[in-house]
Chain A
């Protein structure tokens, strides 16, 4: 073992990790928490007001130029549809960015719940995307750039709300399909999304997220019998732009009752934090092991080394 091979080792390992090290410092920027843009918009969904008319579904379909549905939007029998042996109700897919489901809580009137992207403050889809296809805009929308999407579908695995859908039927241009808060056509210009605009019951309230939080808590205080005392989405999973008020416990209307208040990215921060450490420590540690093993070995493997040495000397003559 000589200086030459150490130098070579350094050169080789630097070359070997150069690419990966580049990623290291940038990752640090992702730590720290983000609680949403100060003037980000949102929607407050009041399940006590929703009557299940499905006009939001129709408006979304028209605004986003989605294909006509199998059953018309005034057909209320879709509420009885279940999938996978009754284990699942309707969910957003490539042809519908929002759906309304009916729940029958124990001993109460039916409750309708609108499902769409909740536009998280720290979206799991965004933080899991390895080509940065998602953007959280200042207006509060989580939008998606299909031009760079590779189709790995990690965002679908990561989304705690089961929202992003994939156009599996397309062979040449399959992309993620999800609610984008009508960003391109409306939100950008300060307008509410199509579903909010059309809602006849004012079940959906559009406004600045920080104002909606106040309105939500006001309603709970004013009508304590009407609501459970929880504004779902205020803190859950780091907070969402769309928030919900419900008359019954949230698990009875299809919500995960205990998602935690940590954004999804916090689950991988520990791992991402170890990456620069491994990159920095492993080379020295294992070269150290190598040197220790060599010194201990004695004559055992000198044959191997001596030859290499000879070869090198030969080269320098």
Chain B
């Protein structure tokens, strides 16, 4: 893509093609304003696509294999370890990393911190895709995935924690689709839809907070069903608070990580509003994340003290627990403190990456590694690992597909007033001039 831009090609970022004053067609938008040949060329020149190709070549047949021959054929999921990598990683790791949507939604919409707007859409998209792919992992893992809607429509077990998770993830997914649809409506040029969503934005955001609080917590509460199975150091009567609290730094840091990758690999797609404000936003997010991490560290300590589990710290499991805490929580706190004090964004980014890995390790520990600690250790089947990686690769592809096209990293240049007037029945108050370069805030309306 970089070389194409070097040749003077400009990716679609507006309603109207500046060259001939005509509106871009849907097909042109899909190809980013390139010819199909150019598009294919840039895709083939990208070595990352070849890696993805190899993963798909191996992984997609294995996914088909799973549906033909059952879970037993591709996983080591057993009667003692009902949940393997698909849920251990796909659900329990992906969901906290997607807490970004409601965090940034709250920051911008509820607290009115419009200085975080340049990164808000990325955070919302990150939330939506994380949840969506957690459901995809679930569809791989469920014994009878075609019955996924059963808890909604067929048979109800409302006293079960998972019932809550199912309903909340389903409703929250719809909320997130609505929140992200603003970018989509801009892209397809239907401003009525965009206006409607902007009006209910506060309602959407507040329901997002409620649903997130409850189901991030509910994922933790699921382990309260297995008090004898999860190692005491990873188990707490307040598990839901632990999971909810740690989802906050996880979500914030995931946005930092994604924005860092985007800045490195997709600079052509970022407009100056995004690029120029990214460092400032990153440090802001790092501040939030470090506060949440400190809180998390404290409640973890309280958790140990509450159940008087100090003795376990001297065991092998204790060492593993302390390592998780030291590397996944304390180290990022120190890095963030340094980064914020000295305004070094790079260190904040490093801290964010470690936090993401640390929270992921915590979830894997709870769901797989320290689960059945008195029994035996489950090692995932190689096919299970490959399928998990394949779904993650699909996640990356979808993520990239959307970032390339929808105005997430750049501001959409709205259509001229005449076109709008023809489309909307009433006089539209939409600003027609594009935002000046380097504007402090993204103009939404």
* Chain A residues with CB under 8 A of B73: 169, 171
Please tell me which stretch of B21-29, B212-220, B288-296 contacts chain A, meaning at least 4 of its Cβ atoms lie within 8 angstroms of it. B212-220
Cβ 8 A contact of A130, one of B68, B78, B160: B160
A255–B245 CA distance with the chains assembled, in angstroms: 35
Residues of A within 8 A of B163 (CB): 23, 130
Complex-state Cα separation, A294 to B376, whole angstroms: 55
Report the bound CA distance from A164 to B346 in whole Å: 50
Which of A3-11, A71-79, A189-197, A215-223 lies at the interface? A3-11
In the complex formed, the residue of A with least CB distance to B146 is A150
Given A130-B151, A308-B199: A174 in contact with B111 (beta carbons within 8 A): no
Set of chain B residues within 8 Å of A132, measured between Cβ atoms: 155-157
Q: A166 — which chain B residues lie within 8 A by C-beta?
A: 77, 79, 82, 143
Q: Mark B63-95, 1 if CB is under 8 A from A, else 0.
A: 000011111110101111011000000000000
The answer to whether B427 and A9 touch across the interface, beta carbons within 8 angstroms, is: no
**A8 adjacent to B156 (CB under 8 Å):** no
Residue of B nearest to A292 (CB): B111
Residue of B nearest to A290 (CB): B110
Interface size on A, residues (CB 8 A): 89
Interface residues as binary, A1-40 with B (CB distance below 8 Å gives 1, 0 otherwise): 0000100111111011101100100110110000000000
Bound-complex Cα distance A11 to B167 (A): 20
Closest B residue by C-beta to A4: B199
Judged by DSSP, the binding face of A is: helix
Q: Are A168 and B72 in contact (CB under 8 A)?
A: yes
Closest partner residue, chain B, to A85 (CB atom)? B376
Determine whether B207 belongs to the interface, using a CB cutoff of 8 Å to chain A. Answer: yes
A311 at the interface (CB under 8 A from B): yes
Is A16 a contact of B171 with CB atoms below 8 Å?
yes
The reply to whether the CB of A129 lies closer than 8 angstroms to some CB of chain B is yes
- The answer, among B162, B203, B375, for a CB contact under 8 Å with A152, is B162
Verify B158–A26 contact, CB threshold 8 A.
yes
Flag whether B322 is at the interface (Cβ < 8 A). no
Q: At the interface, yes or no: A173 with Cβ under 8 Å from chain B?
A: yes
- Point out the residue from A5, A16, A154, A260 that lies within 8 Å of B162, measured CB to CB: A154
Interface on A for B, CB 8 Å cutoff?
Answer: 5, 8-13, 15-17, 19-20, 23, 26-27, 29-30, 83-85, 87-88, 91-93, 124, 127-133, 148-154, 156-158, 160, 162, 164-166, 168-171, 173-175, 256, 259-260, 264-265, 267-268, 270-272, 274-275, 278-279, 282-283, 286-287, 289-290, 293-294, 297, 300-301, 304, 307-308, 310-312, 314-315, 317
Q: Can you list 13 contacts pairing A with B, beta carbon distance less than 8 Å?
A: A10-B203, A17-B207, A30-B159, A83-B376, A132-B155, A157-B226, A160-B227, A170-B70, A171-B69, A260-B227, A297-B112, A311-B195, A314-B427
